[in-house]
Amino acid sequence: MDYSIYIRPLLISDAENNLKWSIDPELWRLTGEMPGKYISMDLEAAWLSYVLQNTTDKCFAICLNFPDHHIGNIELTNISDEEARCNVLIGEKLFWGKGIAGKALSLVSDYAFSYLKLKRLYTKIYCENKPALSVFKNCGFIENGLAENNFIKLTLDLQDHQVKLSH
CATH class of 5-118: alpha beta
In this structure, the strands spanning 151-157 and 58-64 are unpaired
Give the residue extent of every domain in the chain.
5-118
Q: N- to C-terminal Cα distance for the chain?
A: 24
Q: Who wins on pLDDT, 1 or 61?
A: 61
Convert the pLDDT of each residue in 43-73 to its tens digit: 777 777 888 888 889 999 999 998 889 999 9
pTM of the model: 0.88
Convert the pLDDT of each residue in 118-133 to its tens digit: 999 999 999 989 999 9
Residue 163: predicted pLDDT: 54
